[in-house]
Amino acid sequence: MLVPFDTPTLVKAQLDARLEETVALVPWSRRTGIVSLTLELSQLPGFVPVLADPHFSFSHAEREDLRAGYGSTVEWQGFGPDRLADLRARALALKREWLQLDPDDTGMEPFALAGFAAASVSTDADGLPEALLWLPEVAVRRRRGQAVLVFSTCLPADQDACLRRWRSWLDRLVPGLCRSAPGPLNPGPLRSLEDRPDRAGWIEAVEAALAAIAEGTLEKVVLARRQRVQGRRTFDLERLGAALTYLFPSCQVIRLQREGQCLVAATPERLLAQRGTWAEVDAIAGTAGRAAGSARDLALGEALRSSPKELREHALVTDALRAALTPVSHRVEAQDGPSLLRLNNAQHLWTHIRAELQPGMDALALADLLHPTPATNGAPCAAAQAWLAQAEPWGRGWYTGAAGWLERDLSGEFWVLLRCAEIQGDHALLHAGAGIVAGSDPAGEWGETEAKLAAMLTALQFA
């Protein structure tokens, strides 16, 4: 059984020695391609550090799953309506030239980050392009009782120069991997700098959406708020990630850091997971709060499961996902009626969908097919997008976009970027939204967004 890291010097010495033993396996003079060298870690990292270099991480406490990447071996960006198709073409080319070396027989694949903004319009508010495919130079992966480091480089490469870079990464990474997650700081106040729209503006927007629904233009539209706050200190990204992991163990905690800015999310919503011929998709829509008393909490959940308005909103999402999957699947399966997905601060209606895919489908193709769902955009999709372009005069950036990972065969997972904050120094820009359907109450939907914002605001106070 693996145990947490104890001695950074020993761990680094072991990895240095293993690199020395396996470096001859790398075809350094190969004329083209990329190689990834996977080495098993003898001890488990419980934490991945924040470094000044570009990096990303995905951490899911309940699944005991962790992935992180540092630096860049190669990356591609996509723009415009064909951004995901362009990245998929790059990924298919990468697949053909990506060599994996696994001398320790770990069976754990190297991976690249793939992600994209909510819409195919220019956005640099969060330091991220419209779409991104990013293969890190060094990656960390933990899966329950197993962990590895993955070193990657483009070929051809100079062996000595590459080894110096990889060992430099070890110098910086290993001390952080050996640490436990930092504890919270004393809570600090947050000063509100922007709340857009304000309560009056929100009510006006919801009423306009309800009018469009009554006219038959829309069935549903998801309105968003943005809130900018300032802390009394520079936000500590390591503590923020640790706080979100503690507060929301059933969520995927995501961190993307580039060009001095950082996007952080604690999202409950998986857009898709695909491996081989099977895909899993989560339909999440319909929200209620939580209560301290168990009886009251159960009553809130049962009221959510029996609410015609919430069930109608949920059915729009489930039906749209099934309709999107059907043309590319041999069969699509969904549970009878939604279950409850319970988080610390909210509970949602949730339907798990499985699809047996036709040949030629992969995670990136599915993401392009499924996004945006009615859970974050509305229905019908095109009408909701056009309506939001007028109703929301600001870009969402990567909020309600998606991020995840791709392996060499283009299997992977994507998570919808919800409960987000864009962090720069002591400033944070938060987003939250609510789905509007016939019967929605403006004040109630405002309360839903307040609860969603509170998830990140609480964590920020302790960071």
Which tens digit of pLDDT belongs to each residue from 8-33?
888 898 999 999 999 999 999 999 99
Confidence of residue 6 (pLDDT cuts 50, 70, 90): low
Of 177, 203, 230, the position where a domain reaches its end is 177
Asked whether residue 220 falls in the same domain as residue 345, the answer is yes
Domain limit, last residue, from 114, 149, 177 = 177
* Cα–Cα distances in angstroms (integers) from residue 139 to residues 40, 67, 204, 397, in the given order: 12, 7, 47, 26
> Do 82 and 231 reside in the same domain of the chain?
no
More confident position, 39 or 3: 39
Other CB atoms closer than 10 Å to residue 305's CB: what's the count? 18
User: Shortest CA distance to 265 belongs to which of 256, 257, 253?
Assistant: 253
What pLDDT is stored for residue 3 in this prediction? 45
Residues 297 and 156 in one domain: no
- 393 pLDDT band (50/70/90 cuts)? confident
Using pLDDT thresholds of 50, 70 and 90, give the confidence band for residue 255. Answer: very high
Both 123 and 219 in one domain: the answer is: no
Measure the N-to-C terminal CA separation of the chain; round to a whole number of Å: 33
Mean pLDDT, to the nearest integer, of 373-399?
Answer: 91
User: Quick check: is 437 in a domain?
Assistant: yes
Are 18 and 70 in the same domain? yes
pLDDT digits 0-9 by tens, 105-117: 999 999 999 999 9
**Residues 362 and 223 both lie in one domain:** yes
- Whether residue 390 sits in one domain with residue 337: yes
Show Cβ contacts of residue 310 under 8 Å, excluding neighbours closer than 6 positions. Answer: 286, 287, 288, 304, 349
83 within 8 A of 131, measured Cβ to Cβ:
yes
11-17: Cβ within 8 A, 24+ apart: 11/41, 11/42, 11/43, 11/174, 11/177, 11/178, 12/170, 12/171, 12/174, 14/42, 15/39, 15/41, 15/149, 15/170, 15/174, 16/167, 16/170
For residue 226, list its beta bridge partners.
Answer: 196, 431
Structure tokens at 68: 């992180």
Per-residue pLDDT at 1 exceeds 80? no
Question: Taking the mean position of all CA atoms in its chain, how far away is CA 42?
Answer: 28
Q: Answer yes or no: is 134 within a domain.
A: yes
Q: Are residues 217 and 310 in the same domain?
A: yes
Strand partners of residue 348: 287, 341
Residue 195: inside a domain, yes or no?
yes
Per mean pLDDT, which range of 77-81, 152-156, 301-305 is the poorest? 301-305
172 in the same domain as 145: yes
**Which positions ≥6 away from 431 have C-beta within 8 Å?**
224, 225, 226, 227, 396, 397, 399, 400, 420
Residue 234 tokens read as 């520079």
- Alpha-carbon Rg for the chain, nearest whole angstrom, is 22
* pLDDT band, residue 123 (cuts 50/70/90): very low
Active site residues: 220, 269
Same domain, 64 and 22: yes
Q: Which of 126, 146, 177 is the last residue of a domain?
A: 177
Work out whether strand 220-231 and strand 190-196 pair parallel, antiparallel, or are unpaired.
antiparallel
Same-domain check for residues 221 and 163:
no
Check residue 124 and give its pLDDT.
43
Pick from 48-52, 90-94, 213-217: least confident? 48-52
User: What are the structure tokens assigned to 374, written together?
Assistant: 């009615």
**Domain of 13, in residue numbers:** 8-177
- Give the CATH number for residue 455: 3.60.120.10
Same domain, 36 and 121: yes
Say what the pTM is: 0.94
Spatial separation of the C-alpha atoms in residues 452 and 454, rounded to whole Å: 5
Is residue 184 one of the residues assigned to a domain?
A: no
What total number of domains does the chain contain? 2
pLDDT per residue as tens digits for the range 161-180: 999 999 999 999 999 998 88
Residue 416 lies in a domain: no
Bigger pLDDT: 127 or 138? 138
In whole angstroms, give the CA distance from residue 392 to residue 204: 12
Residue 183 lies in a domain: no
Predicted confidence (pLDDT) at residue 2 exceeds the cutoff of 70:
no
Residue 257 lies in a domain: no
Residue 182 within a domain: no
